Amino acid sequence: MRILVVNAGSSSLKLRVLDEHDDVTSAIDLPASHGRFDRAALGDAVAGLEGIDVVGHRVVHGGTEFTGPVRIDGEVVARLDGLSDLAPLHQPVSLAALDAASAPLPGVAAVACFDTAFHATLPPAAATYALPAEWRRRFGLRRYGFHGLSHAYASRRAAAMVDRPVETLRIVTCHLGAGASLAAVHSGRSVDTTMGFTPLEGLVMATRAGSLDPGLVLWLEEHVGTPAAELAATFEHRSGLFGLAGTADMREVLAGSTAGDPDARLALEVYVHRLRAGIAAMAAAMGGMDALVFTGGVGERSPDVRKLAVSGLGFLGVELDEAANERGEADRTIHAADSGIPVLVVAAREDLEIAAETRRGSPPTSSRRRRRARRRQPDRDARGLGIHRRHRVAGGFGDVGVGSFPQGESVAGADVAEQGAAHPEGDDCYRCRTERDELRGFHPEVHLRHRRATGPGRHPPPGHARAQLRAPQAGARLGRR
């Protein structure tokens, strides 16, 4: 099987063709500054490749619904597009690349592989924000984590390099590139990471600020009057190394720091301070660390950054071999002989991870199997908020959506509601249920069976048995059937 891997990032778009032995038979890199790439050039590049059996696409955000590779169809694309506001620098690029790469390959299957999927195993303590339960349930507010394809590959490759099963190791993986994140990988599973609800959280990056005090954002909005769009653009494109030193290139920051540029020196110190603290936090999340891994453009090619990061981790027993650290070959160990913890450099090979996941991608699902799947579980909107399939809100946000219920259908027979339709006539409210990501929700001052807090959906018509309405008091809990 020949797999075309399409890896659309914020700074480049990489095409790799891998054969059945995972050997790269073709490699093409296209520029994608700030996620913008030449669609025609991508189409021409794909058209020039022969014998492609399947295409694997890196997609940054899969929400809570997509926790593994999935065969791409129109419905999947629509759901992924709904997640673009959570990863505005990456998700639209992935979807545009998917569209452009599909045109020259009619009839060739495509599989989406998600950066968030590896972090679906985060325990509640690591995934949960300390926000009101109603907000978390209604809007799907949680820490998703990103760069999962890179963290998954780097952790398994590191385990192979130290000749131990990944299930026996506690590994901290450092993906340092234009985007940067850390992951705590315990027994092959992600148990903590630095990115959160969006890729903005965590480390200082090339153009992204990393973690900020929310009060700072509120202050800029309320007291300076900074529009939300300007805040978003600044945090995404004009912050990080670029905001501190005037350049997003770590090589220029290092050179400026060495030359005595105070802005470059401050940028490097802020970057390394956040990096060291993050590595220690990841180790603490696992109760220790058995290996430290650097990957990504900066992680692989900057011995200075690795040296500065590790120099503050002696209390964890980490020591570098300076000569090994300076050598340039990929996939090597760089720790000193007396280091208590192996330190490794691993070449980022998201293409191998995507190819492996593409092979596992789901086959086309028959209409019958799709119908059975919908009966077994609630339909979900693009953000992963569970919505009962009988009352799927066309607007997509559960009790605050704008869609209503199917006209003239019994709940037992209704499938997907159309936007603007009325509640089913003559049916009883007892069946009118929604579920939300397997969580029991609170619904203040909302009819228990008809979560229509602000939307224009109609109340059930006269004739429903009062005993079945069960209107709750404010804050009543929805129980399971």
Known catalytic residues are: 115
Q: Please report which helix (H) or strand (E) contains residue 190, including its range.
A: strand 189-193
Helix 250-258 crosses helix 262-285 at what angle (to 10 degrees)?
A: 120
| C-alpha–C-alpha distance, residues 400 and 244, integer Å | 40
CB 94 within 8 A of CB 58: yes
Spatial CA neighbour of 155 closest among 123, 189, 112: 189
CB 87 within 8 A of CB 60: yes
Contacts of 284 (CB under 8 A, 6+ apart): none
Positive or negative: CA dihedral 358, 361, 366, 371:
negative
Q: Please report which helix (H) or strand (E) contains residue 111, including its range.
A: strand 109-114
CB 355 within 8 A of CB 56: yes
| C-alpha–C-alpha distance, residues 55 and 64, integer Å | 23
Return the beta strands (E) in 225-303 as ranges: 291-295
| C-alpha–C-alpha distance, residues 309 and 401, integer Å | 47
Contacts of 131 (CB under 8 A, 6+ apart): 141
